Amino acid sequence: MLDKLNLTVTYSRGARAIKNSETGQVPGEKPDIGRRKKEHIEICLHEDVEGRGEGTGFDRYRFRHLALPEVNFNGIDTSTQFLNRKLRVPFMVSSMTGGTDEAGRINVRLAEAAERKGWAMGLGSLRAAIANPSTARSYQVRQHAPNVPLLANLGAVQLNYGFGIEECRRAVQMTDADALVLHLNGLQELFQNEGDNNFGGLLNKIERLCREAEFPIGVKEVGWGIDGDTASKLADAGVSFIDVAGAGGTSWIEVEKHRSANHLTREAAKAFEDWGTPTAECIAETRAAVPDAYVIGSGGLANGVDAAKAIALGADLASFGRSLLAPALHSAERLSELFDRLEFELKAAMFGIGAANMSQLSRTERLLRMN
């Protein structure tokens, strides 16, 4: 079913040499951003790119069952607010892709599902669209999701490579987004053939951007986690929300390892298989460090029970990423089925502990740490 979206990137699982059938580029040439986006999709679909560490940490927690919940399941209210828009459920599509025609079709399918089901949605990095405006259409999904929160996305490191408030405004304006999220992906950049590795002085630049921007600025990790100390610094800098994006899901070192023809970084990647702070720990730390922050919990969430645990630990929203990719490629129906299942699992967990709404879930004392 994947060929419905014409994914044409192929790569050797031996030497990890990569060739794009559209451009004819071969290893040793510096690939363009569009080609890299295609490779990322293909690798995330077909390779084992999960981290090998402690997992998400959600398995350390159990809800204590309530035999008499005193709740009508059909009356459970999962609605919430984000960026002055109402959500039917406290879920978000994580920032994933863009920059190619195939990625554009994936984004449209995700946006249509998010609109139908009442989820927020993040877009993939818009650096490709800033560099090449002809790719902007692959991110422009507002017409398909007119009522949900939509996040534009840029790498924070680009603030050290010539990007400033004007580029950030362009990212928000070209997508009609409600906010901009800056992603922190230092280790991915380090292991990426084309990576930008200067992360010095970024906190001051993020703070300046928060002062200058007329739209909300958030910050997210990409799968190794934001701890409490970092969250506190980001909040002091003025960010409007924090997506902890902890370990336990996709490791972008593993993704870049599959792309790389560099023997050194491929071998070094093995030493980082267990790198990162588990998602559950990131959420709890961030909420404790910044009690008033708006927190998004992402990083390897497998189901609606994980989402309920994330919210009980302190997240305001739970975000899903790679688990949505294959269903989005398969069909709108398959994606809709997954959205429905995740929502049902969340509500069933709430029913099982007697939580009738999101406030009661977030304040529950029935989530127990097992060790």
Taking a C-beta distance cutoff of 8 angstroms, is the pair 258, 221 a contact?
A: no
Least confident of 38-42, 75-79, 222-226: 38-42
pLDDT exceeding 90 applies to what percent of the chain? 77
pLDDT value for 346: 98
The pLDDT confidence band at residue 43, using thresholds 50, 70 and 90, is confident
| CA contacts within 13 A on the Cβ side of 171 | 33
For the chain, the helix, strand and coil percentages under 3-state DSSP, each to the nearest 5: 45, 15, 40
Distance CA(68)–CA(56), nearest Å, equals 30
| Position 286, amino acid | T
Backbone φ, ψ for residue 222 (5° rounding): -125, 10
Distance CA(219)–CA(62), nearest Å, equals 29
> Which residue has tokens 């794009």?
20
Quote the longest CA-to-CA distance of the chain.
64
Rounded to 5 degrees, what angle do the CA atoms 300, 144, 317 make?
30
pLDDT value for 41: 74
Distance of CA 172 to the CA centre of its chain: 17
Q: For the segment 299-329, what is each residue's pLDDT rounded down to a tens digit?
A: 999 999 999 999 999 999 999 999 999 999 8
pLDDT value for 29: 35
pLDDT value for 261: 81
Taking a C-beta distance cutoff of 8 angstroms, is the pair 321, 106 a contact?
A: no
Closest CA to 299 of 280, 274, 275: 280
Q: For the segment 153-181, what is each residue's pLDDT rounded down to a tens digit?
A: 999 999 999 999 999 999 999 999 999 99
